[in-house]
Structure 1
Amino acid sequence: MPSIQVIEEEFVPYSVAKKILGEVISSGISSSVLQKTFEYLNSLEKCSAENAIKLMEEISSIIQKPEVKAMISSLCPETPDEVRAISILEGRNLTQEEVQKIIEAVKRYKNN
């Protein structure tokens, strides 16, 4: 397996990571670890990579930390308690209105 050099690092939703891994595997670079990771991410995917990016953009006025936006776009919380459990990492309490806006955005972008 060729050596890999990290050029850039960013927080991405599961579906985006799955898409990237799929492209790597399709290019001919593969291993059992890459294949198992791809399959695992596939089992967790709750929205498409494109919708996950749109969701991150939509909630960026409420959520500032990239890692929290990526978690919300990966896990697609549907209840206020689920949103609050993730958003605690934001370092501030979200208002009920902000929580509701996130839930509504998730519902728009989540796979049905």
Structure 2
Amino acid sequence: MSKSTDGQISHRDKEGRPLDLMAWTRLHKDLEYRVIAEDEVAGHLVRTVWEGIDDGVQVACMWANGISSDGKTFRTVWEGYWPCTQDEAKAAHRETVATLRAKRPADATRRG
């Protein structure tokens, strides 16, 4: 897998394979494809998603996780830049969930 030139945007699937813009757009619209982990903790939704963007300067991200209290608006708490893997994104998700559980000890339900 090649790394993009600094500042030059490329699009990648979950495994890091390059995508053309149209293929990336189709996948990016598919929430089922994008969401790799989701948990509810004390009334907050923690979701980690594939973003699939590599710009070589760590501004655009491959993965992101965030927390939402309404299920619609997410506050980003972690981003994984290329060459971050899906396994690393899932590990960051587990860490975010653990941190939130420690701050809000309540019943938590795993959703994904």
Which TM-score band applies after superposition, normalised by the shorter structure?
under 0.3
TM-score (norm 1): 0.25
TM-score (norm 2): 0.25
